[in-house]
A and B are shown apart, each in its own frame.
Chain A
Amino acid sequence: MTQQSTAEDLLARMAGRDEAALGELYDRLAPGLLGLILRILPDRTAAECALQDVFLRLWVDARRLSREQVSVPAALALLARARAVDRLRFERRPSEDPHQKLDRQAGFESWLPRPQEIGLLDARRELFKKVVNQLPGPQRQALDLMVFGGFTEIEIAEKLGEPLAKVRSGLLAGLGFIRHRLAAVMRTWAANI
């Protein structure tokens, strides 16, 4: 039985301009990425356009990202979300330059997760979804507005009619909960190696 290539193997082939590798990676990851983008941009045409932009970006940067040994699923998910949020914010306020532009942030590839870290998260995907579902309703609502609604903390406070400090502390508490649960699983995994 042949072993399936990893997403990072496919990226390495893309760095050598292998179009079939791009096609294979697209077949594997595009449905999840399109689902993510559609949560942010409900307009199907806009979402499909954003998805193509993300894969095009990966094609252009394949050599650099492959050299840095980043996790391809994580890079694509973060890029897809950032691209969709930028587009959504532009639709809301065309006169403002969106400041997310994740892939233009300094040292983008130097802090992207490594393949083995994301492999671990993917293997426990269902468990981690339960972790997110354990968040109290108001924290989950504020996180959803931030992650999928593309709102800043100030906009969330306005939308919910709550003081900024309360919204910020709720967001930080929710994110802190997720971070600590993730760290606990990571530590257990590292100890078992």
Chain B
Amino acid sequence: MGCEHLDEYYELYLLGALTEGACIDINDHLERQCPYCLERLREAAHSVYLLTLTARPARLNPKMKSQLMKRIHKK
């Protein structure tokens, strides 16, 4: 089966907004490394990235960075 029936859904898939059943088709295509789906998903990722940019940056707690560095030593 082609991918045309999935065309509108890649953004919803990427945002986790589809029900699990509705994701199955896209998952199948991705597992087969379907070039069309991979390309459309990359385009969808552009839109999702753009939407995430609408959030305002936040001030960091200075302790967080040192906590992160301690955590990577445990890895």
How many chain B residues have a CB neighbour from A under 8 Å? 46
Bound-state CA distance A161–B40 (Å) is 31
Q: Mark A78-119, 1 if CB is under 8 A from B, else 0.
A: 101110010000000000001110100111001111100110
Q: Are A59 and B46 in contact (CB under 8 A)?
A: no
Task: For A125, list chain B residues within 8 Å (CB).
Answer: 53
Q: Mark A132-143, 1 if CB is under 8 A from B, else 0.
A: 100000000001
A19 at the interface (CB under 8 A from B): yes
**Residue among B30, B56, B60, B69 making CB contact with A106, cutoff 8 Å:** B30
Q: Are B42 and A171 in contact (CB under 8 A)?
A: no
Given contacts A31-B59, A111-B38, contact A150 B16 (CB under 8 A): yes
Interface residues on A, range: 35 or more
- Interface secondary structure of B, over-half rule: helix
Q: Are A102 and B16 in contact (CB under 8 A)?
A: yes
| Residues of A near any B CB (own CB < 8 A) | 19, 22-23, 26-27, 30-32, 34-36, 38-39, 48, 51-52, 55-56, 59-60, 73-74, 77-78, 80-82, 85, 98-100, 102, 105-107, 110-114, 117-118, 121, 125, 128-129, 131-132, 143, 146-148, 150-154, 156, 171-172, 175-176, 178-179, 182-183, 186
| Residues of B near any A CB (own CB < 8 A) | 8, 11-12, 14-20, 23, 27, 30-31, 33, 38-39, 41-61, 64-65, 67-69, 71-72, 75
